[in-house]
Amino acid sequence: MKMKKIYITLIAVALAFTSCSKWLDIQPELEIRKTAIFETEQGFKDVLIGAYVRMATPSLYGLNMTALMPEMMAQHWTPVANTLSAYISGFDFTQTASMNLLETTWLQYYQTILNINSLLEDIDAKKDMFANGNYDIIKGEALGLRAFLHLEILRNWGSTPGKMVPGDKAIPYLKTVTKDPNKLIAITYKEVLDNIIGDLNTAEQLLAGDPILTYSNTVLNSLGTLGGVDKTKPYPADEFHFFRQSRFNYYAVRAAKARYYLWIGDKASALDNALVVLTAKNSDGTSKFTLGNESAANNGQLTFPTEHIFAVYNTLATQTFTPVFFNYSTAYTQNTTYLNTAFESTLHTSDIRYRNNRLWEIRLIPMVGNINFFKKFNDTDSKTSVKDIPLMRLAEMYLIATECGRPDLFRDYRIARVLDASLDTKLTTDAAIKDCLEKEYRKEFYGEGQMIFFYKRLGYTKFTWPVVKDVAEASYKLPLPQSQLMFE
């Protein structure tokens, strides 16, 4: 059985440690089940995979925190009056629909973290039961995930980096399993940031023996005994060691650290960590991760799987995204003129992401007119449907490196996307680099939820695309849901 298929059957395990109520409350009968499941190594594996399952649901990265809320805030979808898209695009979080979205997302984040903490709470006492280095791998992944998720919460619910005051209250950093929702109390920005980097540093140490450092992604993405890997070549003995790009692997830790350091303005450290990923090699000297190319784009793989540093496997991707993007009466879409401006179609005539209607499909709907249907996550051309939803990609590391003092690396990225060579001579000032990066974050991560964090990190108070829009810096800080305000 492939590891990815295990994700489907373990959804019940992922939910077994949380109540169905709005609170982070564990019922007594579930505590008994918790005790039993951690009697075997497999139980720890199941709970960890369960956390990934929850992350892939529509309530988190299966929709809400990739293609939905952050993309609305970034003005990527045409808003429809008196609907969620209009409220979020207008940074109006007072409406019932937007308040419910925030409530659901907040609780899903912390319930996922609670599941991870249940594993971490028991793993050290059971260290001797693990084989094949799985203690280090499982604990390292869990700590890395905990840090990653808290960083995501901070990026959404925290102030813009320029307005962060170290001693001000930020968000809760949950490190325990608790039945008491009163313990979900915000701590200071400094404490949150210290906890994030502390967990990431420990995860990096534990994942020093990660299989991704030994085997190529090609080997790891084909289950050794079942997937047709050449048996004359070495491959992991433990099935749990496969599909590392869909798990929080060693390089995901380094990519998360690059993102973290860029967020707090430490460009030197951000560059150091981004370069670890960019220069990662297999044992034969080939690159560990490679930029997506014409072949991938032509095959409809516009999330560029060879770039995935960390992704979640969404078994319901087609069922989730098709109604959102391909129901003509409710589809999230964008105006063709605005898209041509965004992708600089006159200058970059061969951009592999945009040409040949790869990212957008124009359909004439009777009595409605032409509508652009977003194709990044949809199986619209009888090609392989996208089930791996990327949360960190190689392209981001190139853009981070470009911003942090290595604009020369942008050339490699530019060539892979077939952008006009004139860009090579323009990246000579910070302002020019910033302008170029704004455009590339939009093109590259359209639908993936990253553009808004570029705006927020740099404190943009005016958007110039698709139309000019003033944005108060305070608008970037999502309001705490009502359930959390009770404990502040």
The 3 state secondary structure assigned to the chain is CCHHHHHHHCHHHHHCCCCCCCCCCCCHHHHHHHHHHCCCHHHHHHHHHHHHHHHCCCCCCCCHHHHHHHHHHCCCCCCCCCCHHHHHHCCCCCCHHHHHHHHHHHHHHHHHHHHHHHHHHHHHHHHHHCCCCHHHHHHHHHHHHHHHHHHHHHHHHCCCHHHCCCCCECCCCCCCCCCCHHHCCCCEHHHHHHHHHHHHHHHHHHHHHCHHHCCCHHHHCCCCCCCCCCCCCCCCCCHHHCCHHHCCCHHHHHHHHHHHHHHHCCHHHHHHHHHHHHCCECCCCCECCCCCCHHHHHCCCCCCHHHEEEEEECCCHHHHHHHHHHCCCCCCCCCHHHHHHHCCCCCCCCCCCCHHHCCEEEEEECCCEEEEEECCCCCCCCCCCCCEEEEEEHHHHHHHHHHCCCHHHHHHHHHHHCCCHHHHHCCCCHHHHHHHHHHHHHHHCCCCCCHHHHHHHCCCCEECCCCCEECCHHHHCCCCCHHHHCCC
Q: Please report the pLDDT score of residue 482 as a whole number.
A: 82
Q: Please report the pLDDT score of residue 274 as a whole number.
A: 98
CATH second-level architecture of 1-207+460-488?
Answer: Alpha Horseshoe (1.25)
pLDDT in tens, 127-180: 999 999 999 999 999 999 999 999 999 999 999 999 999 999 999 999 998 767
State the pTM of this model. Answer: 0.93
Q: Which of the pair, 177 or 6, is modelled with greater confidence?
A: 177
Q: Please report the pLDDT score of residue 364 as a whole number.
A: 86
Residues 265-288, mean pLDDT to the nearest whole number: 97
- Determine which of 4-18, 27-41, 164-178, 312-326 has the lowest per-residue pLDDT on average: 4-18
% of the chain surpassing 70 pLDDT: 88
Residues 284-313, mean pLDDT to the nearest whole number: 95
Residues 24-33, mean pLDDT to the nearest whole number: 46
Q: Please report the pLDDT score of residue 414 as a whole number.
A: 98
The domains of the chain are located at: 1-207+460-488, 288-457
pLDDT tier for residue 28 given thresholds of 50, 70 and 90: very low
Q: Please report the pLDDT score of residue 1 as a whole number.
A: 36
pLDDT in tens, 198-229: 999 999 999 999 999 999 999 898 875 544 45
pLDDT at 423 over 50: yes
